[in-house]
Amino acid sequence: MANTDIHPELRSAARFTPRKLIYPWTLPILRRLTGLQRPDNDGVEVLTLESGVGVRLYRPTGTATTTPALLWIHGGGYVLGTAAQDDVLCRRFVKELGITVASVDYRLAPEHPYPAPLEDCYDALQWLARLPGVDPDRIAIGGASAGGGLTAALALWARDHDGVKPVFQLLVYPMIDDRSVGSHLEDAGHRLWNPASNAFGWKAYLGGADPEVAAPARRTDLAGLPPAWLGVGTLDLFHDEDLDYAERLRAAGVPCQVHVVPGAFHGFDGIVAKADISTAFFYSQCDSLRESFGG
């Protein structure tokens, strides 16, 4: 692929963005670096649920009534990351929509493979619905990359279990298929995440689990899921699997808005957050969330 195939707003950043990031030998280093970061807890409630799951809670100011809520799930290939990494994004959702946002610190693979991370997200969802000031009938779930994969899995899990039923799922370039499907797997435009990293992440997450159950893209029955928004770039490793999933959602009768960003690689909106395409990507999510909340 020629450099010109990368979106003009992303070309400068692409030169300094690694094509691959997470491998077995880099994971301990990246985790140590993450542990050295000190999050800004100003205005954030840092909580530990009875189940032991950590949550970062962001509330709107000056709101006397109950608000809709978003359960946000961070990315990191199922093996890396913390809720604090998305502080800026969660605060943006609160400011733009006037909602409550809870970001969950789920357990990571390979130490905690499926279903542990998903169970943590489900526990956080149940807790969020009981939180004073939150409207339990207007709760959305969302996440990026592996967080998007957990969002898709959580939507399925919530459908199949008693408890809170999310009204919407926000799937930001979700990691949903362990088979790494598509004809573009070795595309030179990929950044941050490549097939080798994907294979490592999925192996760690699945452990001994049946992928037909654990990987959302392998699920055959998608009926009855909440409406969805799905966004992905054309240079994202997940492009093909994501668009296929969106089509299958629609075929199952689930409304799904798709936002494709030409020339965008994985995680582009976090790397070049102020680019016009990143801003449009964010506001597309906000518009869908606002509509799902009925406002």
Domains of the chain: 3-290 (3.40.50.1820)
What's the confidence (pLDDT) of residue 144? 98
Q: Which residue has the higher pLDDT, 18 or 151?
A: 151
pLDDT-derived band at 181 (thresholds 50, 70, 90) equals low
Distance of CA 59 to CAs 99, 103, 144, 206, Å?
Answer: 7, 12, 21, 34
- Is 236 among the catalytic positions? yes
What's the confidence (pLDDT) of residue 279? 97
What's the confidence (pLDDT) of residue 40? 82
Weakest-pLDDT range from 1-5, 85-89, 142-146, 213-217: 1-5
Catalytic residue among 123, 187, 236, 269: 236
Catalytic residue among 103, 112, 266, 288: 266
Q: Which residue has the higher pLDDT, 44 or 191?
A: 44
Q: How far apart are CA 188 and CA 19, in angstroms?
A: 8
What's the confidence (pLDDT) of residue 198? 93
The whole-chain average pLDDT of the chain stands at: 92
- Is 145 among the catalytic positions? yes
pLDDT-derived band at 24 (thresholds 50, 70, 90) equals confident
Instruction: Write the DSSP symbol of residue 217.
Output: G
Percent of the chain whose pLDDT exceeds 70: 95
- 117-146 residue pLDDT tens: 999 999 999 999 999 999 999 999 999 999
pLDDT-derived band at 115 (thresholds 50, 70, 90) equals very high
Instruction: Write the DSSP symbol of residue 29.
Output: H
Q: Is the pLDDT of residue 212 over 90?
A: yes
- 224-234 residue pLDDT tens: 999 999 999 99
Q: What angle do CA 287, 236, 261 make, to 5 degrees?
A: 40
What's the confidence (pLDDT) of residue 63? 74
Q: How far apart are CA 289 and CA 140, in angstroms?
A: 8
Helix axis angle for 116-130 and 146-160, nearest 10°, is 70
Q: How far apart are CA 268 and CA 266, in angstroms?
A: 6
- Is 259 among the catalytic positions? no
What's the confidence (pLDDT) of residue 1? 41
Question: Are 283 and 170 within 8 A, CB to CB?
Answer: no
What's the confidence (pLDDT) of residue 147? 98
Strands 45-48 and 54-58: antiparallel
Q: Is the pLDDT of residue 188 over 80?
A: no
Q: Is the pLDDT of residue 217 over 80?
A: yes
Helix axis angle for 276-292 and 87-97, nearest 10°, is 50
- 56-102 residue pLDDT tens: 999 998 776 899 999 999 999 999 999 999 999 999 999 999 999 99
pLDDT-derived band at 183 (thresholds 50, 70, 90) equals low
Catalytic residue among 74, 103, 145, 288: 145
What's the confidence (pLDDT) of residue 3? 44
Q: How far apart are CA 211 and CA 149, in angstroms?
A: 13
Q: How far apart are CA 259 and CA 118, in angstroms?
A: 26
